């Protein structure tokens, strides 16, 4: 089963952005509030491996570096854009998330998780699940605690989404409740597919929006961690993750 890879460029969302979106024919496709809770071990073993586990509303999601391959190749034209864009594999299947998280923790020096399979409610794909208090196995919310994971960041974002339909490009304007606003241009590709054309689409959209080039813009998590978990932020910077 191939996963989706999100190729994304963040940008500063200034007061003129609405007007520019309108001018380039972007269509508003919705507005919603998103509640995110991010989880990690007390030693931040996941995020220090660039693995981001979150509960968005009632669904679990994992973002992690894509497998090495075409997703990381850059076409000649996309090279400059490539340095401004992040690429993350997005996993939304809970059994797959759990097995990936266990895999990452198994390789940690701190050994939050030893190599033995965990007893308890983690299930694998296709296994028949047995009901237990709080719902089917692996679906209830006891599994993060069993892997020594706890919530380290929690915030709500008001998001307005736009599309440039002809290009398969989505533009999100995010306003986080801790007082930070940021824009994102994103294109989804299948894992293993060439990202060159996604980078070109992003570059084209950025140019049409009049964005200054070569500017790395902080994401919501950068700002959240700087403010609320500064020690962890420094570690992530030293590890070149943020």
Residue from 62, 219, 232, 233 binding ligand V4E (CB under 6 A): 219
**Structure tokens belonging to residue 163:** 């599309």
Q: Which is nearer to ligand V4E, 98 or 220 (CB)?
A: 220
Region near ligand V4E per CB under 6 A, out of 19-27, 72-80, 116-124, 219-227: 219-227
Region near ligand V4E per CB under 6 A, out of 106-114, 118-126, 198-206, 214-222: 214-222
User: Closest distance between ligand V4E and the C-beta of residue 84, in Å?
Assistant: 8
Q: Which is nearer to ligand V4E, 10 or 121 (CB)?
A: 10
Taking CB under 6 A as the rule, does residue 152 contact ligand V4E?
no
- Going along 50-149, which residue ranges are E strands? 52-56, 59-64, 85-91, 131-132, 135-136
Taking CB under 6 A as the rule, does residue 88 contact ligand V4E?
yes
Taking CB under 6 A as the rule, does residue 52 contact ligand V4E?
yes
CB 130 within 8 A of CB 104: no
User: Closest distance between ligand V4E and the C-beta of residue 34, in Å?
Assistant: 7
For the CA atoms of 47, 150, 91, 206, the dihedral, rounded to the nearest 10 degrees, stands at -50
Residue from 4, 74, 86, 181 binding ligand V4E (CB under 6 A): 86
| Binding-residue total with ligand V4E (CB under 6 A) | 11
Taking CB under 6 A as the rule, does residue 184 contact ligand V4E?
yes
CA 83, 182, 225, 49 dihedral sign is negative
For residues 78 and 213, what is the distance between their CA atoms, to the nearest angstrom? 13
Residue from 5, 7, 10, 169 binding ligand V4E (CB under 6 A): 10
For the CA atoms of 116, 51, 55, 237, the dihedral, rounded to the nearest 10 degrees, stands at 130
Region near ligand V4E per CB under 6 A, out of 102-110, 129-137, 200-208, 213-221: 213-221
Q: 16 — alpha (psi -120 to 50), left (phi > 0) or beta? A: alpha
For residues 51 and 71, what is the distance between their CA atoms, to the nearest angstrom? 17
DSSP states along 89-107 = EEE--HHHHHHHHHHHHHT
Residue from 63, 87, 89, 160 binding ligand V4E (CB under 6 A): 63
For residues 1 and 122, what is the distance between their CA atoms, to the nearest angstrom? 20
Residue ranges in contact with ligand V4E by CB under 6 A: 10, 52, 63, 86, 88, 184, 219-221, 241-242
């Amino acid at each position: 089963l191939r996963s989706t890879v999100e190729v994304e460029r963040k940008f500063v969302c200034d007061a003129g952005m609405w007007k520019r979106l309108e001018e380039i024919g972007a269509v508003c496709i919705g507005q919603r509030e998103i509640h995110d809770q991010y989880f990690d071990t007390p030693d931040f073993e996941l995020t220090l491996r660039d693995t981001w586990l979150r509960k968005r509303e009632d669904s679990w999601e994992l973002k992690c570096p894509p497998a090495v391959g075409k997703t990381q190749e850059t076409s000649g034209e996309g090279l400059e854009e490539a340095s401004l864009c992040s690429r993350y594999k997005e996993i939304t299947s809970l059994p797959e998330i759990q097995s990936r998280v266990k895999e990452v923790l198994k390789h940690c020096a701190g050994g939050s998780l030893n190599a033995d399979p965990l007893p308890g409610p983690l299930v694998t794909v296709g296994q028949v699940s047995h009901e237990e208090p709080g719902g089917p196995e692996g679906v209830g919310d006891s599994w993060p605690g069993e892997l020594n994971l706890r919530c380290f960041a929690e915030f709500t974002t008001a998001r307005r989404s736009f599309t440039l339909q002809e290009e398969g490009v989505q533009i999100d304007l995010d306003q986080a409740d801790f007082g930070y606003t940021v824009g994102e241009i994103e294109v989804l590709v299948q894992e293993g597919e060439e990202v060159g054309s996604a980078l070109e689409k992003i570059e084209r959209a950025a140019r049409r929006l009049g964005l200054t080039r070569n500017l790395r813009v902080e994401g919501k998590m950068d700002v959240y961690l700087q403010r609320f978990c500064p020690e962890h932020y420094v570690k992530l910077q030293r590890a070149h993750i943020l």
